[in-house]
Amino acid sequence: MKKIIFYLFFVIMAATLPYYAGGYLLHVSTTILIFMSLSLSWDMMLRTGQLSFGNAGFFGLGAYASLISVSNLDIHPVLSLFFAAVFAAGVALVVGFAVLRLRKIYFAITTLALALVFEVIVMNLSDLTGGSSGRVLPQAIFGGNSVLIYWLILFITIIVILISELLNKSKTHYAINSIRNDEITARSSGINVFKYLVFVFVFTSAIQGIIGGVYTQQYAFVMPESTFSLDFLLLPIAMALVGGIYTTMGPILGAIFLGLISEYLKLIMPYGHLFIYGLIIVIVILFLPEGIYKVARKKYRNRKSQEVKLDASSEGK
């Protein structure tokens, strides 16, 4: 109960942000939410034990699907997001049937190749995609109203957070955890490993697709170089790692923390600011493999239990 009130408080704070924050903070928050969703979607796949580098690829697919459906089919931009999600999910389903039979480095590197593959395809279908120079939309979604855009993205992010929580609570959670920890045992206890992997891969890709769509509708253009940019691969991973993997809170905290740093970095380091993210990943892997959230939580718990002990001993006197 306490927890729900706590969450509600944050949702209300976030929803009312446009009323008390300035334009710049609103813009930063929008970006943070976008990366938060991407980061959560990456982490959800990781919870099955599969390290996917495919998130940037499905982000890009969603971006193109959304833009093309709006300009060629004249669909409403909001509706185009569903199209983006469905398209990304469809591709993920087909691709997933092949790559989800792979494990470990084979899975990771094949998904790493996906973004490159999608990019080459996009480049070569230039009638539809505009090739290497990309395409623009006549105008951004909601006529470029940044408050409405923020609310839309906040809405999507909240749904992603709920999905992530659900995934960490339900029966699925048990299945996914056991697949990650010991696939053979999971299999022998009757869990349909492949089905679960396809399921998670498809819906995380759908999330990435929708986010790609939103992003495109927000900026009203696509271009291979920026749409398939390393940012959308690297930042979500760094955020989840910093915050702490396999949790909902980790990617959320990581996204806020690194998102704020990112704005500052872009100002002082126009070229090569991603260097810091590479460094962060390396440092987290080597020195802080549990991420900030879990370490902080442990410290907090330790202190609490020490306090309890102190209380007990003082009572004894």
Instruction: State the residues that interact with another protein by CB under 8 A.
Output: 51, 53, 98-99, 101-102, 104-106, 108-110, 112-113, 116-117, 120-121, 123-124, 230, 234, 237, 241, 269, 271-275, 277-282, 285-286, 289
Give least dist CB 65 to another protein, A: 20
Count how many residues are written for the chain. 317
Q: How far is the CB of 127 from another protein (least distance, A)?
A: 13
Closer of 68 and 100 to another protein (Cβ): 100
| Alpha-carbon gap, residue 13 to 16, rounded angstroms | 5
Nearer to another protein, 99 or 207 (CB): 99
CA distance 104 to 159: 29
CB of 69 to another protein, least distance (A): 24
| Residue 122, CA atoms < 13 Å, CB-side half-sphere | 29
Contact 29, 161 (CB under 8 A): no
Nearest distance from C-beta of residue 120 to another protein, angstroms: 5
Give whichever of 165 and 263 is closer to another protein, judged by the CB atom.
263
DSSP state letters, 154-167 = HHHHHHHHHHHHHH
Positive or negative: CA dihedral 122, 126, 132, 133: negative
Rounded Cα gap, residues 64 and 207, in angstroms = 14
By beta-carbon proximity to another protein, the closer residue of 143 and 272 is: 272
* Shortest Å distance, C-beta 189 to another protein: 20
The answer to whether 240 touches 55, Cβ cutoff 8 Å, is no
Q: How far is the CB of 209 from another protein (least distance, A)?
A: 20
CA distance linking residue 100 with residue 86, whole number of Å: 19
Compare residues 270 and 316 and give the one whose CB is closer to another protein: 270
CB-wise, 10 or 106, nearer to another protein? 106
Rounded CA-CA distance 228/58 in Å is 9
**Cα angle, residue 215 at apex, residues 255 and 160 outer, rounded to 5°:** 50
Cβ–Cβ < 8 Å for 54, 114: yes
Nearer to another protein, 89 or 119 (CB): 119
Cβ of residue 53: shortest distance to another protein, in angstroms?
A: 8
Amino acid at site 285: I
